[in-house]
């Protein structure tokens, strides 16, 4: 499903959560929506789901989503809190609602995921653990097979093995049934290999939208003898450094020229791709204020 956002602004009283945002997602990809706390991810996703009347326009496959039941049926937004489901309902009922609401729902797949995540069907949603609630949200999101599926930090409460089981399930299901996923997460590196394109927002504004590989190629990890790494990176924009004994790894922002590549070889330094997370930190406002 294609998404077109034009001049979108979301305000809560005096607070501008999304500030005149314009971008398009061509669709059928796994997109990462990255942004610091309070940057406007949830507000943006709510507008994309048609939950609020937009200032500006939000179109899904060329059709405005707000007050359009047909378009909204093609969207599934899973938030990290299972606010959609009544906490007094049993898990099995939450899944039935998912099924009743969506033509694209795959019930057999929903039950495969219930098995995978060991979800207790007869337990009330309000009595699930945080991780189980996350698993229920993710189950609803994946089994909905919605043409636009948005997962807003929905896997936050899962433990590490469960998160990795979720990433596998997501990728496998996306390969079998390509659709548009927009996923917000603060666990960037874990999800990085799944993301084809990345949208970074900060203070309600679009910072960049880029293919993940292109974004990674904007920086280099330089590893080697600490003194040699220091010599090589002097004057470069270093995003972060890690030292282990005499070895150092430095994340450098910017493209290296031929002379620098030759010098790196002379010093015996290893050059590799940069972590998306380091770029993200560099591209958004630092904790405590502006750069």
Name the minimum Å distance from CB 78 to ligand ATP.
13
Pick the closer one to ligand ATP by CB: 173 or 202: 202
Q: What is the DSSP letter of 286?
A: P
Pick the closer one to ligand ATP by CB: 205 or 263: 205
Name the minimum Å distance from CB 12 to ligand ATP.
3
Q: What is the chain's length? A: 291
The C-alpha atoms of residue 228 and residue 258 are separated, in whole angstroms, by 18
Helix (H) or strand (E) holding 83: none
Pick the closer one to ligand ATP by CB: 146 or 185: 185
Q: Which residues bind ligand ATP (CB under 6 A)?
A: 12, 15, 17, 35, 37-43
* CA distance to 10, 36, 90, 189, per residue, from 15 (Å): 9, 16, 37, 30
Name the minimum Å distance from CB 22 to ligand ATP.
17
Name the minimum Å distance from CB 80 to ligand ATP.
8
* Residue 65: closest CA among 83, 85, 81, 45: 45
Pick the closer one to ligand ATP by CB: 46 or 220: 46
Confirm if 165 and 117 have CB atoms less than 8 A apart.
yes
Name the minimum Å distance from CB 163 to ligand ATP.
17
Task: Find the largest Cα–Cα distance for the chain.
Answer: 66
Pick the closer one to ligand ATP by CB: 66 or 101: 66
Beta-carbon neighbour count of residue 1 at 10 Å?
17
């Amino acid at each position: 499903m294609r998404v077109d956002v034009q001049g979108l602004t979301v305000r809560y009283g005096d607070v501008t959560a999304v500030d005149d945002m314009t971008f398009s997602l061509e669709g059928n990809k796994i997109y990462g929506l990255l942004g610091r706390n309070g940057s406007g991810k949830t507000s943006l996703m709510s507008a994309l789901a048609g939950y609020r009347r937009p200032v500006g326009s939000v179109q899904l496959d060329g059709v405005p989503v707000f007050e359009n039941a047909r378009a909204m049926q093609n969207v599934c937004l899973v938030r990290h809190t299972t606010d959609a489901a009544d906490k007094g309902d049993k898990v099995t009922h939450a899944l039935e609602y998912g099924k009743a609401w969506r033509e694209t729902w795959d019930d057999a797949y929903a039950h495969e995921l219930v098995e995978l995540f060991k979800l207790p069907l007869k337990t009330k949603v309000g009595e699930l653990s945080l991780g189980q609630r996350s698993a229920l949200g993710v189950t609803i999101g994946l089994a909905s097979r919605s043409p636009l599926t948005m997962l807003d930090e929905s896997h936050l409460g899962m433990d590490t093995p469960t998160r990795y089981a979720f990433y596998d399930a997501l990728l496998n299901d996306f390969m079998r049934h390509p659709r548009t996923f927009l996923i917000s997460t603060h666990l960037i590196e874990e999800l990085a290999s799944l993301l084809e394109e990345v949208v970074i927002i900060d203070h309600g504004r679009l910072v960049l939208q880029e293919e993940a590989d292109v974004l990674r190629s904007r920086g280099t990890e330089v590893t080697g003898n600490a003194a040699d790494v220091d010599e090589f990176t002097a004057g470069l924009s270093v995003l972060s450094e890690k030292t282990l004994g005499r070895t150092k790894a430095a994340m450098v922002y910017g493209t290296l020229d031929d002379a620098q590549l030759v010098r790196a070889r002379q010093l015996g330094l290893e050059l590799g791709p940069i972590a998306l997370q380091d770029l993200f930190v560099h591209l958004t406002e630092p904790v405590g204020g502006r750069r």
